[in-house]
Chains A and B, each alone.
Chain A
Amino acid sequence: MLRLEVRPQPSARWSYASPLLALAITVVIGVILFAALGKDPVRGLQVFFWEPIKSPYALSELMVKATPLLIIALGLAVCFRSNVWNIGAEGQYLIGAIFAAGVALTATKETGGWIVPAVIAAGVLGGMLWAGITALLRDRFNANEILVSLMLVYVAVQVLNYLVYGPWKDPMGYNFPQTKTFESVTQIPRLMQGSRVNIGLLLALAGVAAVWVFLFRTYAGFAQQVGGLAPAAARYAGFSSRKALWVALLTSGGMAGLAGALEVAGPIGQLTPYVPAGYGFAAIIVAFVGRLHPVGIVFSAILMSMFYIGGELAQSRLGLPKSITGVFQGLLLFALLACDTLIAYRIRFTPAALRATPSSGRHQPPGQAGSALPVDGTRPTSETTEGAR
């Protein structure tokens, strides 16, 4: 009989091993999937894990895709650690892109280089504004942030469609639903010739450092997370949950907006209906797989970027639909959540006869008050049943 037993301490080892095990499970399922579809599994693995890193150019493309994922996931890590469930990063990313495009479209041939910081600032502002709606409705009216932030994604997509099919449509664009290509002065400066990597990557890495310092080296960052781990303790300490809510949403919204700005003014260079690429949703997985830790997120962003590039290559080289990326993304998160059980629990094989005398609930995890749910899986999530005995 298989049984889960609460560990006295969450296992530090498993909290590192779990993402790797999850990746291994995803790869195994992927191999089976390739075989079932009649494709060479070795070729499949090559496309996902070797092609994206085999040349300097491939590596630079890997970084181009990893940058927005990294930036958005960093913001979400702050958010999820505060137990605020912002799952509408895709919408905040879009509104950020739209705001940035709005500034970029004002540029003319004579515009100076100041336009780049303005474009970026507009993106951040747009993302914060969109997340601010969720924060306001949650704070003022107690509306569920999961549903509100998600609904706002659909609204943001329609706002984008309205602009590119309507007022912002390029009059010289043969009636395609897209804005004119931004002036080259608005282009986010690239790091080197011959690759599309731009200063967004540096901003992202600076973000890693900033989020790390905020979360682990500042009092404000500590207060921010206590509300997520133990709401009762946070209340007792006098940490404002409302402030934590606003900080969480404005940070993640601003970061998502930043990613949107870097994307439209960087690799894309105009606003089209294809700006939403699912980065906002993929970043949720990136954040979890990276253990909601800034450094972990760097690795998981690169992994997720491989999934994206691998999906595109699978389409062109193996004739598989690009959406295979989404399958692997979902599988990875599923596998991760299942593997995370091992952090808080040990698997025990017990003979049926011994089941009558279980070791009673000796571990009462803190922070189960209210609707608070630990999100990082580093602590047991079970409520033991002392009351029932």
Chain B
Amino acid sequence: MEPTALLIAASLNAGTVLAIASLGLLINEKAGIVNLGAEGMMLCAALAGFATVVHTGSTAAGFAAGMAAGALLAAVFGLLVIWLNTNQYATGLALSLFGGGFSAFAGTAYVQEKLPEQSQFAIPLLADIPFLGNALFKHHPMVYVCVGLVFGLIWFLYRTRAGLVLRSVGESPESAHALGYPVRRIRLLAVVAGGALCGLAGAYVSTVYTPLWVEGMIAGKGWIALALTTFATWRPARVLLGTYLFGGVTMLQFHLQGMGVNVPSQFLTMMPYVATIVVLVLISRNPTWIRVNMPASIGKPFYPGS
């Protein structure tokens, strides 16, 4: 019983990292922009968050620093892609390569640092429920914030005028432009918001999830988050479900090791990456399914009145 509760708890925790980043990328993609720089933004944000916590001792400040770092890099990406019309894939790739290099370079001084001991979180009363308490109610507040974020995003995208405008920019920038909406500014806002969320996810990784800093510590989570937006067919609720499922697969490796399953550890480390490929294959098999759900202008540049 208890191991299962712990597995659920670990899955939710691992899923939260992916979910926050994935929701950010979802906002980008709803506005028609694919940011392949997620990995680079998360790495820089992880370092920014970690360094801030080392100096200030405040996790909240670390989150803020991570969000700022993510937003800043996303803004650079956005300016290049939206105003200078550079290729989205190449620019995102540049951001990932730069982020990896820059965080490794700037972070050398922090490799040996340790973070102050963190308090354990538990929701009073609910945490004492057998099984459920351990599985669901002893998480870092960010896990619950993330769930709230999903509902907030659903409300924003499908129940507000601003959400409708955002989606219209992603579906048909020409029409949105003709109606007088500032397409490029809206896209930039979406990109920056997405970058901030990726940054938050990165800072969460380095300050709470695995509280340390090492070069390349995001280990492909940014790329997996990108794949999960496709897996979720660009629906926020499915993103959450998908990331929890994915967190489960990731955590299963430790569970299996704990149960004494005799598989070389490298094969277990491989699992999340193989799972990403499997997931992509399963969802992409049906082209109609993707076409119906995908924002129509995704990846395409828009430059009004040249």
Contacts and interface: CB of A to CB of B under 8 A. Distances in A.
Given A141-B281, A158-B270, A326-B104, A146 B84 contact: no
Contacts, number: 200
B174 A338 contact: no
Contact of B284 (A87, A142, A361): A142
Interface residues of B, number: 61
B301 A383 contact: yes
Interface in B258-306: 264, 266-267, 269-270, 273-274, 276-277, 280-281, 284-285, 287, 290, 298-306
Given A162-B264, A321-B105, A360 B305 contact: yes
A9 interface: no
B97 A333 contact: yes
A272 interface: no
A345 B85 contact: yes
Interface string A366-389: 001001011101001111110111
A363 B94 contact: no
Given A146-B36, A337-B86, A326 B299 contact: no
Contacts of A383: 174, 300-303
B227 A361 contact: no
A144 B277 contact: no
B141 to A, nearest CB: 30
Contacts of A382: 85, 301-303, 306
Nearest to A384: B306
B23 interface: no
Interface stretch (B52-60, B122-130, B218-226, B239-247): B218-226
B78 interface: no
> Majority SS of interface residues in chain A?
helix
B209 interface: no
A87 B94 CA distance: 12
Given A4-B84, A143-B281, A162-B266, A284 B93 contact: yes
Which of B80, B230, B284 has the largest number of chain A CB atoms within 10 A? B284
Interface stretch (A147-155, A191-199, A216-224, A229-237): A147-155
Given A327-B98, A327-B101, A5 B306 contact: yes
Given A144-B284, A341-B85, A375-B87, A152 B277 contact: yes
B303 A333 contact: no
Nearest to B269: A158
A4 B223 contact: no
A35 interface: no
Contacts of A327: 98, 101-102, 105
Nearest to A149: B277
Interface in B84-141: 84-91, 93-95, 97-102, 104-105, 108
How many chain A residues sit at the interface, stated as a range, is 35 or more
Contacts of B277: 137, 143, 147-148, 151-152
Contacts of A323: 101, 104-105, 108, 215
B220 A324 contact: no
A63 interface: no
Contacts of A387: 174, 178
Contacts of A251: none
B238 interface: no
A154 B273 contact: yes
Contacts of B36: 146
A147 B223 contact: yes
A58 interface: no
Contacts of B85: 4, 341, 344-345, 380-382
A162 B101 contact: no
Nearest to B172: A387
Given A4-B303, A323-B101, A382-B85, A337 B94 contact: yes
Given A143-B284, A337-B90, 6 more contacts: A4-B303, A147-B230, A154-B273, A326-B101, A361-B306, A377-B87
Interface of A: 4-6, 85, 87, 137, 141-144, 146-148, 150-152, 154-155, 158-159, 161-162, 165-166, 281, 284-285, 288, 321, 323-331, 333-334, 337-338, 340-341, 344-345, 358, 360-361, 363, 368, 371, 373-375, 377, 380-385, 387-389
29 contacts: A141-B285, A142-B290, A143-B277, A143-B281, A151-B224, A151-B276, A155-B274, A158-B266, A158-B267, A288-B90, A321-B104, A324-B101, A326-B97, A326-B104, A329-B101, A330-B97, A330-B98, A331-B98, A333-B90, A337-B86, A340-B86, A375-B89, A377-B87, A382-B301, A383-B301, A383-B302, A384-B303, A388-B177, A389-B178
